[in-house]
Amino acid sequence: MKFQTLQIVAGLAAAVAFVLAFMAAGAALVSGLFMLLGLAAVAWLAYSLIKGVMRRDSKAEPPARA
């Protein structure tokens, strides 16, 4: 069976489409991981700030200025 030019071009186009699809999926995965890392950093920052505010003694007077 002899391949025609159109079949070869269609096969190459399909191969390129699959490669591009896998690259896009990989980029989406890496982007999602960085999103989760950033979300974890913001959550830790909020937790540490809230913990610091809750620990502060509410009865303590601010230091006097000279």
| pLDDT digits 0-9 by tens, 38-59 | 999 999 999 999 998 888 766 5
What's the rounded Cα separation, in Å, for the pair 3 and 30?
39
Higher pLDDT, 9 or 61: 9
For the cut 80, the answer to whether the pLDDT of residue 2 exceeds it is no
Phi-psi region of 65 (alpha: psi -120 to 50; beta: other; left: phi over 0): beta
pLDDT of residue 7: 93
pLDDT of residue 52: 87
pLDDT of residue 32: 94
pTM of the full structure: 0.59
For all residues of the chain together, what is the average pLDDT? 88
